[in-house]
Amino acid sequence: MEFMLRDFIITQENMIFSVVSYSHPEDRVIAFLRYFPSSRGDRERDEKKYEKVNGVAHSFKFLERNFPEYIFKATNLNTKLQAVPLDKIEEHLSPRKRLREIVRAPGDEVEEYIKKLSSLFPEIPLENKGVTGSVLVGLHTSTSDIDFVIYGIKEHSKARRRLKELFGSGEVRDLSREDWLKAYKKRFPSEAELSFEEFLFYERRKYHKGVFGSKIFDLLMVHGQEIKLELWGNMKFRRLSKYILKAEVVDSSLAFDYPAVYKISCSNSKIKEVVSFTHTYAGQAFEGEKIVAEGYLEEVIPEGHLRILVGTTREAIGEYIKLDQSPLPFGRGLFREKHG
C-alpha cells in the first residue's frame, strides 16, 4: 500500500493522522496527529466525538503521554517525528477518491462548493485533483476551509495560472486584508520574521489561495510519481551551524512541495539547496530570483553536499527566506514584530 503526502490515516484507537512524507520507514508511516476521540470534541464522525489538535506541541504532548509508540526517533534527520506503525492502521483515506465521491454526489453545502471549485479548473484532469483536511475525514463544519490538492508539478503550475485568471474574471477573489491578517497571526503567534506587509507581498504573488463564494481554499501540491526520494536508506543529515546565505534560485519546481526545495547557486559551491518545512516559506521565491535565507547548515550524507534548512520549528523564529532585493523593508534587522 502506497502512502502519499496529504493522505489521511485512521488508527485502531480512532486517532486521525495526516501523512506528511512521500518516503517512510519499512514498518511505519510518517504522519502527524490531527484529530483524536474526546468527549469534549465539537466534531463527529461515525457517532464518535473528535477534538482537533491544537498545534504540533500539543500533539506531541498528547502522544507522549498516551501513545508513546507513535513517537519515532528519526536519527538520520536529527529529529523526533510522529509515525503510525503499519499494524495500527485501520483505514487509509485518499484525497483523490474523496473528491470523486463528492463530484458524483455532494453531501452538504461545503461539498457542493468543492464540486463547483473543481469545475473551475477544467484543464486539470479529475485524477490529478483531490481534497484533504477535515473534508477528507468527514469532520468538516459549515465554516471549514477547503484544502484542494493538485497532483503533479506541471498541473499545480497550471492551477496557479488558472487561479490568476479567475481572480481577473471575478469568479474567485483574493482573501481580504482581514483574512490575511488572521493567517499571519496564525503563522506567527509570537515573534515574526516577516512584517505583515512583507507576508502579504509574498503570499499574494503565490496564487495558491483564494475565496470562492464564502469559502477560503488552498491549492496544495503533491508531486506524484515524478520524483523518487528515499529518506530511510543510507541518507543522513548532519547539522553543522546557524547560517545566513545569499544565493540565486536556479530551480523552484518544488517550491510548493513539502518540504519546499529551492535549488540554488551561491559563492559556496557545496551548498546546493535551501529546504523549508514551514508552510510560510513554500513558494517564497522563483527561478532567477536572488534570496537571503537564514537557517541551519546541514551536510547531506552520503552525497556530501550541503543545504540550508529553514523551519526547524513550526514558527521558525530566527529562520526565514526572503528576496535579496525586496520591494519592502526587511522585518528582521530593522525590527521584529511581537504578538500576544
Cβ-contact 34, 20 below 8 angstroms: no
Q: What is the DSSP string of 279-301?
A: GGGTT---TT-EEEEEEEEEEEE
Cβ-contact 256, 156 below 8 angstroms: yes
- Are 87 and 120 contained in the same domain? no
Out of 162, 193, 222, a domain closes at: 222
Report the pLDDT value the prediction gives residue 190, as an integer from 0 to 100. 80
Out of 93, 122, 141, a domain closes at: 93
- Are 153 and 264 contained in the same domain? no
Asked if the structure places residue 102 within a domain, the reply is yes
Asked if the structure places residue 212 within a domain, the reply is yes
Q: In 3-state terms, what secondary structure has residue 100? A: helix
Asked if the structure places residue 230 within a domain, the reply is no
- Are 21 and 137 contained in the same domain? no
Report the pLDDT value the prediction gives residue 149, as an integer from 0 to 100. 98
Could you tell me if residue 205 is left (phi over 0), alpha (psi between -120 and 50 degrees) or otherwise beta? alpha
CATH code for the domain of 290: 2.40.50.140
CA within 13 Å, CB half, 164: 10
> Residue 302: is the preceding peptide bond cis (ω within 30°)?
yes
Report the pLDDT value the prediction gives residue 332, as an integer from 0 to 100. 42
Asked if the structure places residue 3 within a domain, the reply is no
Report the pLDDT value the prediction gives residue 339, as an integer from 0 to 100. 43
Asked if the structure places residue 123 within a domain, the reply is yes
Q: What is the pLDDT along the chain (340 residues), one digit of tens a residue?
A: 789 999 999 999 999 999 999 889 889 999 999 999 999 999 999 889 999 998 888 999 999 999 999 999 887 777 889 999 999 999 999 999 999 999 999 999 999 999 999 999 999 999 999 999 999 999 999 999 999 999 999 999 999 999 999 999 999 999 999 999 999 998 888 888 999 999 999 999 999 999 999 999 999 999 866 555 566 666 788 899 999 999 999 999 999 999 999 999 999 999 999 999 999 999 999 999 999 999 999 999 888 899 999 987 766 788 999 999 755 554 443 334 444 4
Report the pLDDT value the prediction gives residue 340, as an integer from 0 to 100. 42
The range of the structural domain enclosing residue 20 comes to 8-93
Q: Is 251 exposed, middle or buried (0-12, 13-18, 19+ CB in 10 A)?
A: middle
CA within 13 Å, CB half, 272: 7
The DSSP bridge partners found for residue 275 are 261, 309
Neighbours of 179 (CB within 10 A): 13
- Rounded (5°) CA angle 31-260-100: 60
- Are 100 and 217 contained in the same domain? yes
- For the whole prediction, is pTM greater than 0.85? yes
Asked if the structure places residue 2 within a domain, the reply is no
Report the pLDDT value the prediction gives residue 224, as an integer from 0 to 100. 67
Report the pLDDT value the prediction gives residue 231, as an integer from 0 to 100. 64
- Are 207 and 111 contained in the same domain? yes
Asked if the structure places residue 333 within a domain, the reply is yes
Report the pLDDT value the prediction gives residue 235, as an integer from 0 to 100. 77
- Are 60 and 34 contained in the same domain? yes
Out of 164, 198, 222, a domain closes at: 222
Asked if the structure places residue 210 within a domain, the reply is yes
φ, ψ dihedrals at 217, nearest 5°: -135, 155
- Are 100 and 209 contained in the same domain? yes
Q: Domain tally for the chain?
A: 3
